[in-house]
Each structure stands twice: as structure tokens, then as C-alpha cells.
Chain A
């Protein structure tokens, strides 16, 4: 099989985990960054042979994960250690060092055990690159095998795109890293287009993992959800930004990339990552209204594209990973603390699990391709 998947927001934890899952099934995985989509010059990061500076998850496909394990296994979690210099660290992703993705370098025996049983050696939790996680303070030093993330390389120069509005607040240094994309061959064909809008946090239905720090920083409602209309992230600008992020960016990607999906023998499959927040019938009332509405718009978009392109043999997936879209305003303390709350719990286990299910859902045929269904992370159907 020689199939290629293109994933919007490949650097985002869910996108990265999905990319890795697909690669483990033999797919080629390409990533794109939303900041490149509103220009006429499309930019994407393309998986090539693993030259230095390639996306780590793509590199991993070439070396079979092996090189990622040994150098990091020495690190241990140090909860509460001081992190100030983490902020200043050039926080690009390093080869084999994308901490969004579970790797086989668990910091505890329990994690190793869980990972090896459930998902194979790559499934242990690592905090997101560049984020201030006390548990991984020791890794602020560039690993010996890592390439300078800011260096250009022979395969193609890095382009440092401007982060989207609010990104720099949201994820600190990693925003710059995630918007680092390479101009490269953009003409290759695509079988599977994954529209992974926004950024997911592994907290859906796990309000208890929200931290003391996080609560200090943002108003919460009982159950750990962000406050709705009273919350700091519900501003007129944010509502419009949510539409751009969750609805228009995917549409731009489809418009841009559809010509690359027309190959006679291509899979012709478009997958939307959405959220039950957009469900009019069952969506929660204390979801930020702009984000909920934007997800509903995304469902409509998927339906309209389905109506049009199904006739040409395209197939569709609409998936709710069961992860809560990350808070736009105050995610930093939230992320840092959810790991430090309980270092024994893999931060990204829900992401890995959901991505694993998604990979199967996206890659495999479905009994009824003539109906568009919002499918949840356990295969359940959510109404519109």
C-alpha cells in the first residue's frame, strides 16, 4: 500500500498522535499548518526521508522509532522543579523529540507497562514540546541527537509563519514551533484529508484533572468546564475567531487540497475532526457559544461537501475525538498542571486512545458510506 494522508495541524497533540497511528499502519503522513492556508502559496510540511529537521513523527517512520528511545529514558519526572528557562529555550521540535506524541520513554514503570500493553511502546505520555511541565524539566536541554530546530536544512528551508492570533499566549514557545512549516513539494497526491481544526486537550469528561493553578487563572463552572458567556474567552472577537478556526480553516484546506485528491485510484476520503459541542440536540449549555456554533457550522460544511463530493466517489468521516478543544486563553497552566497533578497518569493517554480509534475509522471502509454521521471515540453516534 502506498497511501498518503494530509493532516491539518499535524503538530497539535491529536493530529500528531493520529499521524503516528496512520504511519504505524503503513501510511505516508503529511502535515499542514492553518497559517499557510489563507495565502495563495500553500505551505505544507512533507514527509521525506529523515533528514535532520524533519518533523519528528515523520522521521520516526523511517527509523522505526528505535532512535527515539534510548537517549531519553534517563529522564525522570521532577514535579515542581523550576522552569523559568524553559520559556527561553528554542522550543522547536527535535528529531524523535515531539513530546506531543507518546513515545517509548516512559518515566515510570507504570507508564511503560500501560503503554506496552495497550498501544505498543510508543504510547507513553510526554508533555507538549515547549510547554512548562515541571515533570519534564530536565528535558529543557536540547537532546544530544536533536537538530537545531531553527536551522534550515538541505531539503527545504523552514518558513517561520506568524502564529495565529492568540497562539503565543496559548502555548508559549511551542506556538512558534508549530507554525514552523517547510515549503516543499506540494503537488503530491492525497488519499486521506484530515481536517483537524483547533487544538485538543485530553480533558473531556475528566473535570477532576483540572488543576488548582488552572482554576486560579480562569473562571470555571461546576464540573470543571470553562465558563460560558461569562468566561474570558467569550468575546466578540473570540466568537469570530472560533468560526475561522473551526469552520473556515477546514474549508480553506479542502478548497486548496481537493485537486490533489482526484487521482483515479485515490481513496478520496475527507475526515473532519469536530466536537459534540456542535450538536444542537445534545451539546452542552456551558460550552463557549462561539466555539459551539463554529462546530455546528463545521458539521454543516461536512454535510454540504458530502452532498457534493459523494457523487464523485468521495467518502467522509466526521469524528468527535471526545477531547475538549483547548482553552484559547489560559491553557498553559492547565496543561502544565494536569501533568503535575498526577505524574503517574499519562497526560496524552486519552489522545492516543482516541487517535488510535480515529486511525481505524478513517483508514477502513465503512458499511454505509452514504450517510454522514458524527461518530464519537467509542464508535457511538452523536446527533446533529
Chain B
């Protein structure tokens, strides 16, 4: 069996790092998109998996960076099987209500990374994915993108970016599913990660606790959560959380 290949964005730390580590443990070759060259974790991981891990600079908000990363991957492999769009950012302006001054630069920054970034990255890697076996596009979204369940009263930048991401994924799904691509849309739960820059210590999950079910969901063809396996209907796009629950749009 030939080695499977994956590309993961935002792999420096948090969920992206845990996903990269999990795939490497399974023997996958991983192209890890790195946004923080000074963050040490990927370097340490590379010492453990010198042959399987390739670290690439990747800023998903930049067209040129994404294209350069895709070209760099293409130099090393003919195809990839899995793309995990994990990179995401949050802002410390979350709680600013509409009665206070809104920061539109932050809104654009979050939209570029969280909403347009995964679409841009997916489009850039489509040719590589098309030649792969699995043809799977995975997106780390958020319950914060669920309009139907939204209970927040602010968080404009983040919630709008994630809702828009879900729409963009649905559009890619509608366009690419007939070509044989398969899709996963995932709400990872509230994790102790660094999305805001500082590590969130109040959250309920360690990234690895979310990465394990995420990988089962991303790689498998059945829902791993509810005891007996349920085949995933590849012709339907749903957002599921780390416990397998479906979230409404």
C-alpha cells in the first residue's frame, strides 16, 4: 500500500498540531502548514517523524502563500488524499456589542482566515486531491457558524466568518461532490487552544480529545460515536461536532 498524504493548515499548535500528530502515528505523510515559524512544537514533531512530516510556511489568508504551498507540495507528491482546513483565528473583540464601536479591520481579518482561507486553500489543492485516492476535504468550522442555533448577542466577526464558511463549503460540496470528492464539516468543541493568541484554560477539551474523534470522522466512512456504526451519507453535507451531533445551519 502506498502512503497516504495529507495537508493540514494551521498545524503549529492546538487542534491542527494534534491532527498532524495523529495522522503521523497512523503512518500518513503530512504536509503541515505553519503560520508561526517560531513556535517549537512542529520542529519537535519533525525530529520524531523526519521522513513523514514536511513543514511548509502557509498563511491561508494570502493567495500567494497558498499557491506557493500548493506548488511546494506538488514538488514532493503527485497527489494528496486529505486536506484538513483547520487554520482559524478569533479576536479579543468578541464581546463588543453593537452599542460599542465595532472593529471592521478585525472582521475582515477573521473573514480572510476563517471563511475565505479554507475556500482559497481548497481550490488551490483541488488538482492534487483529484489525483488522490480519498479525495477528501475536511473543514474545521464551529457551532458559532450555526445561524439556527445562534444564541450569542455579539461575536459578529467570528460567527459571520464561520457561517459564511459553512455556505462556502456547501457550495464546494455541490460543485465537487459529482466529481467524486467527499466532505467533512466539523465543530471541534471548546478546546484549550491558542486561537485568540493566548491559551484558553477555561475550555472543556484538550485539543487531543477533539482530534481523536475528528480523525475518525475525517478518515472513516461511518459515524464513530454512537456505538453501532452508521454509514456516513457522502451525498449529504452536515456539520457534526466532536460527539457526532449534527448542528443545524
Q: What residues make up the interface of A, taking CB atoms closer than 8 Å to B?
A: 38, 228-229, 236, 239-240, 243-244, 247-248, 251-252, 254-255, 258, 278-281, 283, 285-287, 289-290, 292-301, 303-305, 307-309, 383-384
Contacts and interface: CB of A to CB of B under 8 A. Distances in A.
Contacts of A287: 171
B7 interface: no
B167 to A, nearest CB: 4
Nearest to B174: A285
A251 B101 CA distance: 11
The majority secondary structure among interface residues of chain A is helix
Given A304-B155, A308-B154, A297 B161 contact: yes
A307 B98 contact: no
Contacts of A243: 108, 111, 115, 164
A243 B170 CA distance: 17
A384 B248 CA distance: 9
A300 B147 contact: yes
A140 to B, nearest CB: 40
Given A255-B98, A285-B174, A300-B159, A293 B108 contact: no
A128 B174 CA distance: 35
8 contacts: A248-B108, A258-B99, A285-B174, A285-B175, A296-B163, A296-B166, A297-B111, A307-B150
Contact of A294 (B97, B164, B248): B164
B213 interface: no
Contact of A384 (B115, B147, B156): B147
Contacts of A285: 171, 174-175
The majority secondary structure among interface residues of chain B is helix
Contact of B166 (A248, A255, A280): A280
Contacts of B166: 280, 296
Interface residues of B, number: 43
Contact of B98 (A254, A297, A299): A254
Nearest to B123: A229
A297 to B, nearest CB: 4
Contact of B107 (A236, A248, A299): A248
Of the candidates A278, A283, A300, the one having the most CB atoms from chain B within 10 angstroms of its own CB is A300
B181 to A, nearest CB: 13
A303 B147 contact: yes
Interface in B158-205: 159-168, 170-172, 174-175
A280 to B, nearest CB: 4
Contacts of B162: 300
Contacts of B76: none
A229 B120 CA distance: 11
B26 interface: no
Contacts of B153: 304, 307-308
A15 B196 CA distance: 39
B152 interface: yes
A300 B163 contact: yes
Contact of B116 (A236, A283, A300, A384): A236
Contact of B160 (A236, A240, A300): A300
A299 B166 CA distance: 12
B160 A297 contact: yes
A254 to B, nearest CB: 6
B160 A247 contact: yes
Contacts of B161: 297
Given A258-B99, A307-B150, A299 B163 contact: yes
